[in-house]
Chains A and B, each alone.
Chain A
Amino acid sequence: AQTVTQSQPEMSVQEAETVTLSCTYDTSESDYYLFWYKQPPSRQMILVIRQEAYKQQNATENRFSVNFQKAAKSFSLKISDSQLGDAAMYFCAYRRAKTSGSRLTFGEGTQLTVNP
């Protein structure tokens, strides 16, 4: 079974600084997708960024980028120029590629605080 681990329950960053959230996963699959979701106090799940395992290039979305290390099964999220609105719970998630409509497996989450 696939597992996703986020070893940082809480992180904090100063506004305008950079922070990196860690995620590791375990799978025997070679083709899969990885995601970072943000859950603000409203508790609405918001997709931040996604990565296809077959792509070597790391995904980027504006201030958000990932460091995808397939061999190490590591998928960290870097937030640059942190803003107060980035404060939220962040979840790393995995899904298999081969089955349409397959489930997401979530990590435990990292609570990010942004200090002004």
Chain B
Amino acid sequence: GAVVSQHPSRVICKSGTSVKIECRSLDFQATTMFWYRQFPKQSLMLMATSNEGSKATYEQGVEKDKFLINHASLTLSTLTVTSAHPEDSSFYICSATDPLLRTGPYGYTFGSGTRLTVV
């Protein structure tokens, strides 16, 4: 079935540095990628939606300059957390839709998530 590979699974970085998280669709073309943030024991909060070749659409309250999203190809989307601070520590998950519906009717495929710790 459809797979989204997300890397890294865990990352620890120093405050003030930037971290890049990658999501690759391995066997389908992800025209739309969703980026979520999840705090412990809470739900997934949508941060932004990106469509290949165009600028991402950010949810209200999400800082565009801090969370840079690039979706330059149909198989790769990246989230860069710039000038990270301890409050950015969280679990980040990507999710893709496949226009050819190989993810299943109305389906979404999720990456395995990235646990970011900023120290």
Check: B15 CB closer than 8 A to any chain A CB: no
Closest to A6 in B: B43
Partner of B107, one of A47, A52, A89, A97: A47
Alpha-carbon separation in the docked complex, A89 to B38 (Å): 13
Alpha-carbon separation in the docked complex, A101 to B91 (Å): 23
Closest to A107 in B: B43
Q: What's the least CB distance linking B55 to chain A, in Å?
A: 16
Interface residues on A, range: 20 to 34
Alpha-carbon separation in the docked complex, A41 to B96 (Å): 22
Contacting B at CB under 8 A, from A77-116, are 89, 91, 95, 97, 100-101, 103-104, 106-109, 111
Check: A28 CB closer than 8 A to any chain B CB: no
Residues of A close to B104: CB separation below 8 A: 47, 50
A106 engages B106 (CB within 8 Å): no
Contacting A at CB under 8 A, from B62-119, are 91, 93, 95, 97, 99, 104-108, 110, 112-113
Partner of A100, one of B46, B91, B99: B99
Check: A64 CB closer than 8 A to any chain B CB: no
Residues of A close to B108: CB separation below 8 A: 47, 104
Check: B12 CB closer than 8 A to any chain A CB: no
Residues of B close to A44: CB separation below 8 A: 110, 112-113
B97 engages A101 (CB within 8 Å): yes
Alpha-carbon separation in the docked complex, A115 to B84 (Å): 40
Check: B42 CB closer than 8 A to any chain A CB: yes
Alpha-carbon separation in the docked complex, A42 to B104 (Å): 23
Closest to A91 in B: B43
Partner of A106, one of B41, B43, B113: B43
Contacting B at CB under 8 A, from A28-83, are 33, 42-45, 47, 50, 52
Chain B: residues with CB nearer than 8 A to chain A?
Answer: 31-32, 34, 38, 41-44, 46, 49, 51, 91, 93, 95, 97, 99, 104-108, 110, 112-113
Chain A: residues with CB nearer than 8 A to chain B?
Answer: 33, 42-45, 47, 50, 52, 89, 91, 95, 97, 100-101, 103-104, 106-109, 111
Q: Which 7 A-B pairs have the closest CB atoms?
A: A101-B32, A45-B110, A101-B97, A33-B106, A106-B43, A43-B113, A108-B43
